[in-house]
Chain A
Amino acid sequence: MQGMTMTQKILAAHAGLASVEAGQLISAQLDIVLGNDITTPVAVNEFEKAGFDQVFDPDRVAIVLDHFVPNKDIKAAEQSKQCRTFACSHCISHFYDVGKMGIEHALLPEQGVVTAGDCIIGADSHTCTYGALGAFSTGVGSTDMAAGMATGKAWFKVPSAIRFRLSGKLPANCSGKDVILTIIGKIGVDGALYKSMEFTGEGVSSLSMDDRLCICNMAIEAGAKNGIFPVDDVTKVYLQGRSEREPVIYAADEDAEYEQTIDIDLSAIVPTVSCPHLPENTRAAAELSDIRIDQVVIGSCTNGRMEDMETAYRILKGKKVAEGVRCIIIPATMQILKECIERGYVSTFIDAGAVVSTPTCGPCLGGYMGILAAGERCIATTNRNFVGRMGHVDSEVYLANPATAAASAITGYITDPKEA
């Protein structure tokens, strides 16, 4: 019997099978089914249209209002209201409204709703984030969410895998963001289409949980079904006292089959930027110093966590945002926002000339809270730089880590953080 990858092991266990192989179609039991204020209304309509009247388990459905809240307009308010009504009538225990919400993929790990060994679907493409905890987690559409809420199950084609063998340690001013941008630059936006990205090697232990969450978050930007890290001491410390359910640890078999193995030397990574209009258009930040910017966004499900805020603070402390540049900082959860206030980061950000918002996906997907006009350019710690992603079709988004984004806010040009 061929050995299994870590992803395959989790899927086999949730399908009640001794083993699975790549390409096999399975029906798997779900630990958590997730939706947000944009995808849940479509799922609720489908759920009700099909005549379902009960969710499989009110404790296993999570609904997070995060894309357009506090509501950006009347229509968005109607969508939130529909989510609220559904959550209330089905006694959904993990319903996060304004006041306790956060950006879903920062919030669910922080609150211990997702844990190691889980099988998770979410009607949001960045649901792949939770692979950082050693879970199988993948993005789906609203109809899959509806079916998951009704039955507690989902169908999957068992993925093959690409193994990324990490070695060394990241240099100063680099983070998980530079690792994943470098990988996407190497393999392209469909380089891992339908596959798992399995991160292994002695370099893993040097990556913080925030780095790992950021790396898995952008697995979808390489087309992957999921990204996944092994469970080690860093994971165990993170889950300790946080996880609502007992974590289950899975590890890849010694003889697991990988379609490809790619070696990544973390010590050779540099601050990296994805140029418009695809995440695969990567360049070293240092090569882009003549690119003038109008706006900076530091936040999102990719880079709105505490370490990202610490980095922004370290670079902006005692400095001023360049004349003519808007710098928008969005801590990803209420807990992170509160911590930023208590540590004095918010005062520092405001003194530097930045604005600080309550948690929202807002500008990342061109919703609100920082929309670009024609011809404007933004450097953002978000995850996509497609045409029109943050506003006008003739605007541009450059993706970067928080250090590069903060350094660029000070100079008004894309700046390698070592120059800041």
Chain B
Amino acid sequence: MNTEGKVFKYPDNVDTDVIIPARYLNTPKAEELAQHCMEDIDASFVKQVQPGDIMVAGWNFGCGSSREHAPLVIKTCGTGCVIAKSFARIFYRNAINIGLPILECPEAAEEIAAGDSVQVDFDSGTITDLTSGKSWHAQPFPPFIQNIIASGGLLASLKKEA
């Protein structure tokens, strides 16, 4: 599995309140929520993002609220992958559970610039910046988590076991 796209770059401690402000959480509908993804720190994101594009961020991405709406809107916008120096733990869990690909790679997250074209190979964990020509290897997921992802999310994996 691969994704390739343009990079949207964000700072440290991007919280779930800016990923999807709570004022919109009066609906569980992903398409409706996704229109407001990143609105409070990057109002142009939703207009510019193309399928497969990549978010690159600093430390502690997705901190704050447990709202699963956060990884859900990022995925629904067509984002192919989020690369960060680190993820807040509930966001990390939620992303795996709903099938939003995420990679923890501090070096890549530091060096990749906004607007670069980046390719990610999820099987090997290889991140390639096609603009700068550099590449990195992200930490692979433990087999237990790979199984959840391969099954298509947590509930699908539970159904498979049952």
Contact = CB atoms under 8 A, between A and B. Distances in A.
B137 to A, nearest CB: 21
A342 B30 CA distance: 45
A224 to B, nearest CB: 8
B154 A147 contact: yes
A73 B17 contact: no
Nearest to B17: A386
Contact of A150 (B25, B59, B88, B158): B158
A67 B23 CA distance: 11
Interface residues of B, number: 40
Interface string B1-25: 0000000000001010110011101
A140 interface: yes
B86 interface: yes
Contact of A193 (B41, B60, B142): B60
Contacts of A151: 158
Given A190-B13, A386-B17, A124 B154 contact: no
A52 B154 CA distance: 13
Given A42-B28, A124-B66, A365-B17, A143 B94 contact: yes
Interface stretch (A161-169, A306-314, A387-395): A387-395
Which residue, B27, B93, B159, has most C-beta atoms of chain A within 10 A?
B93
Contacts of B80: none
A139 to B, nearest CB: 4
A131 to B, nearest CB: 15
Contacts of B90: 125, 139-141, 220
B158 A190 contact: no
B64 interface: yes
A326 to B, nearest CB: 19
A386 B15 contact: yes
Nearest to A127: B66
A45 B28 contact: yes
Nearest to A143: B97
Contact of B64 (A67, A125, A150): A125
Contacts of A46: 155
Contacts of A193: 60, 86, 88-89
Interface in B101-122: none
B136 to A, nearest CB: 21
B69 interface: yes
